[in-house]
Amino acid sequence: MLKVYNTLSRKKEEFKPLVGNTVRMYSCGPTVYNYAHIGNLRTYIFMDILRRTLRYDGYKIKGVMNITDVGHLLSDRDDGEDKMATAAKREQKSPYEIADYYAGVFYTDIDKLNISRPEIIAKATDHINDMIEYVKALVDKGYGYETSDGIYFDISKFKEYGKLSRLNLDEQIAGARVEVNSEKRHPADFALWKKAEPEHIMQWESPWGMGYPGWHIECSTMSKKYLGDVFDIHTGGVDHIPVHHENEIAQSEALEDKKTVDYWMHGEFMLVNNGKMSKSLGNTYRISQLEEMGYTALDFRYFCLNAHYRKKLNFTFDGLDAAKKSYERLLGVLYQHKTSPNSTDEEKLARYKKEFEDAINDDLNIPMALGVLWKMVREEKSKDIYKLALDMDKVFGLSLDKAKAVESDETESDIPDEVTALVNERAEAKKAKNYALADEIRAKISALGYAVTDTKDGVKITKA
Ligand code: AMP
Ligand code: ZN
């Protein structure tokens, strides 16, 4: 039985889909005005682990993720310029070119990270009319009002405003910026639709003149369109709790007159050197930058899986190095299992499997599940263990089928000093571009029964 932590109740709850065996799930996607950084990607790894666990447990999934390509202003609370417009100016391109480019890089990143793509990916700009209809319906029900610069949601009409973040209205006001827009009835009222100045680069016709949608309305609109008025799970990062998701709840529940999402699940933040990760501080990294430094996307995935999704994760290169080493060692050890002639008895296998399932079903305790995997590969050596590891990998998504003969701590100690010395000599020779000498040394190494291979992650020594 899967239990998940529901932000709304602040409790772990038993998970049960609303209808049959299919889980309807919505995940807030990226705003494609810039590269996704590894913090953003941690949140999508969490989404992926959830999807994989649900599938492992036998559920079908209808998952929707949005791509925000309009309406997300520099502050989540509707202040500042549209992020897409800022990027368009910065790069001298149209917002559509910007969105295509960064969405493309995002897909490449998530593919490399083995993040399975949600069944439906919905772009905000493809749903402008749906959003206009949604705003109209809210206005008709008395929840929206017009000011000179847009249509706003009247939070005083929605009595449960704040129930997700459990902030009271005073705290909400404290979070809202000092008011520029005095026409708003309440400082925390938020834009459903913004009227556009003539020079604004993205604008559409609407009953309120030319304009563009607010950021929050896209998620209420697209989740309803693809998943229905009520669905099972909504995910996002913790930063979405106090504003974006609070506003989504207000919009959706005001329209439907009922609770629209059963489980709200949020991934904790990734920090850098225990502080905030942000582009302005220059301490963000992208997957391609990690690759240039010699790490793979899966090294980073492994790093993330070592922390529970509801715990802050501090990114350091020492931590990533350790994860890389441990991941490579895991692949090396699994290769020994793959090629082992031994078998393991059913009962033992069933015990490991149960421990693994208990871990993942306990609110996705992946660090614990990885612990089970490590324990099992240490206690036993057999082909059956390898097969069970592949089964577990349906959840981990670490490409454990790529287990290969790599240097691992287990074999490292077997490598004689002589061989290590030759490997170092060969590296020196290569550095000096003396390739003939390097080849000669390589031959000496193989004569000693070892093979040295150059991989993009460095030199590997294996027993030939
Ligand atoms: P954005 O593209 O800014 O809308 O963010 C995409 C996703 O990344 C959202 O779900 C955010 O909650 C999440 N996010 C932003 N910063 C971080 C971080 N440092 N660690 C983890 N998730 C983050
Ligand atoms: Zn959203």
Q: What is the CA(94)–ligand 2 centre distance, in A? A: 23
Q: What is the CA(216)–ligand 2 centre distance, in A? A: 6
Using most ligand atoms within 8 A of CB, pick from 44, 113, 239, 280 the residue to mutate for ligand 1: 239
Q: What is the CA(245)–ligand 1 centre distance, in A? A: 13
Could you tell me the pTM of the whole model? 0.86
Confidence bin at 81 (pLDDT 50/70/90): confident
Ligand 1 closest atom vs CA 270 = 20
Alpha carbon distance 197, 317 (integer Å): 46
Tens of pLDDT along 241-290?
A: 999 999 999 999 999 999 999 999 999 999 998 899 987 788 899 999 99
Pairing of strands 270-272, 150-153: unpaired
The pLDDT score that the predictor gives to residue 411 is 47
Asked if pLDDT for residue 420 goes beyond 90, the answer is no
Closest residue CA from atom 7 of ligand 1? 40
Query: 111: which residues sit within 8 A by CB, 6+ positions away?
Result: 117
Torsion of CA 348, 351, 353, 358, to 10 degrees: -170
Which residue intervals of 228-286 are DSSP H helices? Answer: 246-256
The pLDDT score that the predictor gives to residue 199 is 87
Ligand 1 closest atom vs CA 42 = 21
Helix (H) or strand (E) holding 426: helix 417-431
Tell which wins on pLDDT, 366 or 178. Answer: 366
Mean per-residue pLDDT, 8-24: 98
How much of the chain exceeds pLDDT 90, in percent?
Answer: 72
DSSP state of 361: H
Q: What is the CA(73)–ligand 2 centre distance, in A? A: 13
Tens of pLDDT along 340-380?
A: 999 999 999 999 999 999 999 999 999 999 999 999 998 99
Alpha carbon distance 332, 378 (integer Å): 12
Distance of CA 300 to the CA centre of its chain: 12
Measured CA angle at 305 (ends 301, 307), to 5 deg = 130
The pLDDT score that the predictor gives to residue 290 is 97
Using most ligand atoms within 8 A of CB, pick from 40, 266, 284, 308 the residue to mutate for ligand 1: 40
Tokens of 282: 């220059």
Tokens of 445: 């190494």
The pLDDT score that the predictor gives to residue 119 is 98
Q: What is the CA(39)–ligand 1 centre distance, in A? A: 6
Reduced to 3 states, what is the DSSP secondary structure of residue 154?
coil
The pLDDT score that the predictor gives to residue 446 is 75
The pLDDT score that the predictor gives to residue 464 is 62
- With a Cβ cut-off of 6 Å, ligand 1 is lined by 28, 30-31, 39-40, 42-43, 236-237, 239-240, 269-270, 277
Closest residue CA from atom 15 of ligand 1? 40
Tens of pLDDT along 39-74?
A: 999 999 999 999 999 999 999 999 999 999 987 888
* pLDDT, the chain, mean: 91
Tokens of 252: 């959706």
Mean per-residue pLDDT, 152-172: 89
Confidence bin at 396 (pLDDT 50/70/90): very high
Mean per-residue pLDDT, 80-89: 86
Closest residue CA from atom 8 of ligand 1? 40
Alpha carbon distance 290, 37 (integer Å): 11
Helix (H) or strand (E) holding 133: helix 128-140
Confidence bin at 193 (pLDDT 50/70/90): very high
Q: What is the CA(41)–ligand 1 centre distance, in A? A: 8
Q: What is the CA(23)–ligand 1 centre distance, in A? A: 23
